[in-house]
Chain A
Amino acid sequence: MAVTLDDVWHIAALARLGLTDERARSLVAELNTILEHMDVLSKIDTTEIDGLAGGGASGLPLRPDIGPPIPLARERETFAPSMRDGFFLVPRLSTHEDPEAAS
């Protein structure tokens, strides 16, 4: 499976990464080189494996439905790029753009 320039633009958009034309072009080769090495995996027989791998597999611990919340040692305003009246501010979205449409 070879990665094309269109693929690179598509995944850069999914990942919200801005790329210059030059960078996008060089990434085609970089990604293809890396992915070529991965092809060997497709030849491995994994029919008897469930594949839910991961380290600590003792079931999900649960916590009681009580506070208090984890405290912050300093106010949000100290690390937020832009706040007003307690809200985080971002450039305005069009009101008809629903979240999933923006992806």
Chain B
Amino acid sequence: MTPADRRGALGVLSAAELRDSVANGEVSPRTAADASLDRASEVRAWRDGLNILLYEDHDDVHRQANEVAVRREGGDVGPLAGVPVIVKDNIATTALPTSCGSRILEGYVSPFDATVVRRLRDAGAIIVAKSNMDEFGMGSSTENSAFGPAKNPLAPTRVPGGSSGGSAASVAVGIARIALGSETGGSVRQPAAFCGVVGVKPTYGRVSRYGLVAFASSLDQVGVFGRSVDDAALGLQTIAGLDPLDSTSVAEPVAAYRGAARGSMSGVVIGRPKEYFPADLDPRIREKCDAALEALRSLGAEIRDVSLPHTDLAVQVYYIVAPAEASSNLARFDGVRYGLRIEGDGLRGMYEATRSSGFGPEVTRRILLGTYVLSAGYYDAYYRKAQQVRALIKRDFANVFKSGVHLLFTPTTPTPAFELGAKSDPYEMYLSDIFTCTANLAGVPAMSLPIGRVDGLPVGGQLMASHFEERQMFAAAFALERQLGAGAHQ
């Protein structure tokens, strides 16, 4: 079988199907891993050079595959055995560098694995590569990577979204069925929407942050990309759950997300929050959303108009809280114990030279903004105020979910993927998070799935649920995916 044939054969399999093929001996872990590596090479050779992956180690991939095979001999076949997975560059791995898309960590190889990585490995998954990202998660396009922008595989003059653009693109282009990304303001859902794949942000505290390089600690979560809803559900199922190494992870039991698949949506009330369908929303996106809601209605769901009144303050709140926490989280990058060090005039000079060379312009901007809003005289007016308004945003969700609504449905982004270099004004870029950052601020689970194309570009529809109600969210996603069928990519 040629690599292309092999890939073709494996590529149609979902992650679960691939795992089952590995389990029953039809496919070897080595074959599955090589198919992934081959695809990555093929994509890399494309004329446009998508730049979606940063680090690979083929020897290590083969070692992992071998380990899975040996375990299989002993009857130990994990839920992701032999399944290739891509991991975002800000999640700690001992086998590959973790550079967070930044020069300040260029070449840094973590001496410990993130909990999510350990759980994937324990499940038999094969970590194939680290993917490109906006530096330290700060961006919505993967243009802020110190190692060059990534491009959207469906339209290489456009962005794949960010900050987890590389992971989204990897799944879109078939290097893996499952990829890990991270969310702070929409960094999994937005690139999922731009690349035509499924992207899930779990409830805050659902998945361990130990090993996820912190951007904004009260917002960060590891998120999962899947080629299909089932892939994403399997991925999340594997990594979710309490971690004693993360004080913000929660003891809530992990429900069976894949088991949520069912046809009927009767009895389910889906809210359509008016603030996410403003008058100036792109009518083509609105049309796709309406079609998706109609699909859900046809399955028996009740669609109800609701309001989340403080939605229009979310971007402001987000862009105070996130940079503030980031300014503190990034203080550890000082050239003393790891990472880049550039000598300067004494200790102070070293700090300044290292950090000014190591951080890109967006990171610098956000650190300064964050430092400012925490500084004496401004803390109350900015940071404290923003956290208070955040509580109002959180209450909006609580009120709606208390009123008998089970889920919310909205567009994921106000536009499809934009052109590289199109958004030069930082605040304009920040506005791409407008529909996604509310879920991060409130801590509720949210996911994006493809609901159609506009000018050939993917459009994402977003589902949101109440805290720890991922199972209900997946149920609707499964149903919608099935109902839309091929229409999700048209």
* 9 shortest interchain CB distances as A-B pairs: A55-B204, A56-B205, A18-B352, A18-B356, A46-B388, A81-B341, A55-B443, A16-B351, A72-B111
User: What residue of chain B has the Cβ atom nearest to residue A54's Cβ?
Assistant: B218
Residue in A1, A37, A70, A93 whose beta carbon sits within 8 Å of that of B381 in the complex: A1
Any A CB within 8 A of the CB of B313: yes
- B contact residues around A8 at 8 Å (CB): 368
Q: Residue B274 at the A interface, CB < 8 A?
A: no
CB distance from A16 to the nearest CB of B (A): 4
Interface pair A31/B385, CB less than 8 Å apart: no
Overall SS of chain B's interface: helix
Question: How distant is the Cα of A8 from the Cα of B392 in the complex, in angstroms?
Answer: 31
A19 in the interface (beta carbon within 8 A): yes
Given A55-B443, A61-B247: A38 touches B337 (CB 8 Å cut-off) = no
**Contacting residues, chain B, for A11 (C-beta < 8 A):** 368, 371-372, 375
Q: Does B384 sit at the interface, judged by CB under 8 A?
A: yes
> Is the interface on chain A under 10, 10 to 19, 20 to 34, or 35 or more residues?
35 or more
B316 contacts partner chain A, Cβ-Cβ < 8 Å? yes
Question: How does the 8 Å CB contact mask read for A83-96 relative to B, with 1 for contact and 0 for none?
Answer: 00000101111000
22 A-B pairs whose Cβ atoms sit less than 8 Å apart in the complex:
A15-B368, A17-B356, A18-B353, A18-B355, A19-B356, A31-B372, A33-B427, A34-B426, A38-B382, A41-B313, A41-B316, A50-B391, A51-B390, A54-B218, A54-B443, A56-B249, A58-B250, A60-B247, A70-B112, A79-B339, A82-B341, A92-B346
Task: Give B318 Cβ to nearest chain A Cβ, in Å.
Answer: 11
A15 CB to nearest chain B CB (Å): 5
Chain B residue, CB-CB nearest to A62:
B247
Q: Which residues of B contact A81 (CB under 8 A)?
A: 335-341
Contacts of B340 in A (CB 8 A): 81
Q: How far is the CB of A21 from chain B (nearest CB, A)?
A: 13
Beyond the given A38-B319, A54-B443, A81-B340, please list 18 additional residue pairs across the A-B interface where CB-CB is below 8 A: A15-B355, A16-B334, A16-B348, A17-B355, A17-B356, A18-B353, A31-B365, A35-B369, A44-B388, A44-B389, A55-B204, A55-B218, A56-B204, A72-B112, A78-B111, A88-B336, A90-B347, A93-B347
Cα A50 to Cα B387 with chains together (Å): 9
Q: How far, in angstroms, from A58 to B248 measured CA to CA in the complex?
A: 9
B266 at the interface (CB under 8 A from A): no
Kindly provide the distance from the CB of A92 to the nearest chain B CB, expressed in whole angstroms.
Answer: 7
Contact residues in A for B316 (Cβ distance below 8 Å): 37-38, 40-41
Q: Assess whether B155 is interfacial by the CB under 8 Å rule.
A: no
Contact with A along B347-372 (1 / 0, CB 8 A): 11111110110010000110111011
How far, in Å, is B43 (CB) from chain A's closest CB? 30
Hey, which chain A residues are within 8 Å of B391, CB to CB? 46, 49-51, 53
Q: Which residues of B does A touch, CB under 8 Å?
A: 94, 108-109, 111-113, 203-205, 218-219, 244-245, 247-251, 310, 313, 315-317, 319-320, 327, 331, 334-341, 343-344, 346-353, 355-356, 359, 364-365, 367-369, 371-372, 375, 378, 381-382, 384-392, 394, 425-427, 430, 441, 443
Q: Which of A27-45 contact B (CB under 8 A)?
A: 27, 30-31, 33-35, 37-38, 40-42, 44
Is A12 part of the contact surface with B, judged by Cβ < 8 Å?
yes
Q: How far apart are the CA atoms of A64 and B336 in the complex, in Å?
A: 31
Q: Is the CB of A46 within 8 A of B382?
A: no
- Residues of the B chain whose Cβ atoms lie less than 8 Å from the Cβ of A5: none
User: For residue A15, which residue of chain B has the nearest CB?
Assistant: B371
- Whether B343 lies near A91 (C-beta < 8 A) is yes
B284 CB, nearest partner CB in chain A, Å:
27
Contact B350 A91 (CB under 8 A): yes
Task: Report how far A41 CA is from B350 CA in the complex, Å.
Answer: 38
Nearest-neighbour CB distance to chain A for B308, whole angstroms, equals 15
Q: How far is the CA of A40 from the CA of B165 in the complex (A)?
A: 31
- Indicate if the CB atoms of A15 and B248 lie closer than 8 Å: no
Which chain A positions have C-beta within 8 A of B310? 44
Complex contacts, B427 vs chain A, CB 8 Å? 33-34, 37
User: Residues of B contacting A50 with CB < 8 Å?
Assistant: 388, 391
CA distance A81 to B341 in the complex (A): 7
Task: Establish whether residues A41 and B386, one from each chain, have CB atoms under 8 Å apart when the complex forms.
Answer: yes
